[in-house]
């Protein structure tokens, strides 16, 4: 089975749903969430998970550009999910791993420049950025909600992933010695912040609203709302 371009999904009618919820893996995803809340989101829109956020809920779409996720034990959940899966074209060399997956090409432009009319390409400095670019491009979407896109530590605990609050036996394990290193993440955030600015402009061009559902997030580009206010905007 050959891999198709993600562009085939852009005109898809997701049961008349006009909202997309993008789940990052920041601490607020755990702190602000009740088990019953994520399933309720399904009636309002499309759920997109990136990387380890798939531990929170089985999504409609999974997006990643980081092949290192395949070394974590949550990758098995990705493979077993019936969700749509989208990965970067650099993964084509792992063709046996990605049968039926959709592919995106990285944008040729820098993180601080986005060609609104460029076709078949996504920003790629992180998986959240790729998911946001994809969501803006979807033709039937009017609102995007970012959950767990914090780019900051929980000052009380020092945690920077939601799953660090789980009991040790429930936390993800890696087959390689991959550390969820905070210093390396901060380097990515620098490029993320540049991309957020141009993607906000792209969203405005497409008449799409973006909400950051954590008032304490260090991402300041988008309108911030309280987690418990989400349903007021749907």
- What is the domain range of residue 104? 4-233
Question: What pLDDT, in 10s, does the model give residues 155-171?
Answer: 899 999 999 999 999 99
Least confident interval from 71-75, 110-114, 196-200 = 110-114
| Cβ proximity of 17 and 116 under 8 Å | no
Q: Based on the structure, what is the number of domains in the chain?
A: 1
Q: pTM for the complete prediction?
A: 0.94
pLDDT-derived band of residue 180, with 50, 70 and 90 as boundaries? Answer: low
Burial of 67 (0-12, 13-18, 19+ CB in 10 A): middle
Question: What pLDDT, in 10s, does the model give residues 35-61?
Answer: 567 778 888 999 999 999 999 999 999
CA–CA distances in Å: residue 132 to residues 4, 101, 181:
20, 18, 23
pLDDT of residue 88: 96
pLDDT of residue 1: 53
Q: Give Rg (Cα) of the chain.
A: 17
pLDDT of residue 233: 93
pLDDT of residue 17: 85
pLDDT-derived band of residue 176, with 50, 70 and 90 as boundaries? Answer: confident
pLDDT at residue 10 is higher than 60 = yes
pLDDT of residue 225: 96
pLDDT, mean of residues 22-26: 95
pLDDT of residue 178: 59
pLDDT, mean of residues 193-220: 95
pLDDT of residue 177: 62
pLDDT of residue 90: 94
Q: List the CATH number of the domain containing 39.
A: 3.90.1480
Question: What pLDDT, in 10s, does the model give residues 81-90?
Answer: 999 999 999 9
pLDDT, mean of residues 124-143: 95
Rounded distance between C-alpha atoms, residue 39 and residue 121, angstroms: 30
Chain mean pLDDT for the chain:
90
Of the two residues 127 and 181, the one the predictor is more confident about is 127
pLDDT-derived band of residue 34, with 50, 70 and 90 as boundaries? Answer: low
Please, what is the angle between helix 182-205 and helix 127-137, to 10°?
A: 10
CB atoms within 10 A of CB 66: 17
């Amino acid at each position: 089975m050959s891999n198709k371009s993600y562009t085939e999904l852009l005109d898809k009618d997701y049961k008349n749903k006009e909202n997309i919820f993008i789940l990052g893996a920041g601490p607020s995803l755990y702190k602000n969430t009740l088990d019953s809340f994520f399933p309720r989101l399904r009636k309002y829109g499309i759920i997109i998970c990136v990387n380890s956020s798939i531990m929170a809920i089985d999504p409609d779409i999974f997006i990643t550009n980081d092949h290192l996720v395949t070394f974590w034990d949550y990758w098995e959940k990705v493979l077993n999910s019936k969700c749509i899966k989208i990965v970067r074209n650099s993964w084509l060399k792992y063709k046996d791993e990605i049968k039926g997956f959709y592919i995106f090409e990285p944008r040729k432009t820098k993180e601080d420049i986005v060609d609104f009319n460029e076709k078949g390409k996504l920003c790629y400095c992180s998986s959240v950025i790729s998911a946001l670019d994809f969501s803006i491009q979807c033709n039937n979407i009017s609102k995007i909600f970012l959950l767990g896109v914090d780019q900051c530590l929980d000052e009380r605990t020092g945690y920077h992933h939601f799953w660090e609050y789980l009991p040790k036996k429930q936390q993800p394990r890696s087959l390689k010695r991959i550390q969820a290193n905070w210093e390396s993440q901060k380097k990515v955030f620098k490029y993320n912040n540049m991309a957020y600015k141009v993607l906000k402009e792209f969203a405005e061009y497409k008449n799409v609203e973006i909400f950051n559902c954590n008032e304490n997030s260090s991402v300041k580009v988008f309108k911030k709302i309280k987690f418990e206010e989400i349903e007021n905007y749907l």
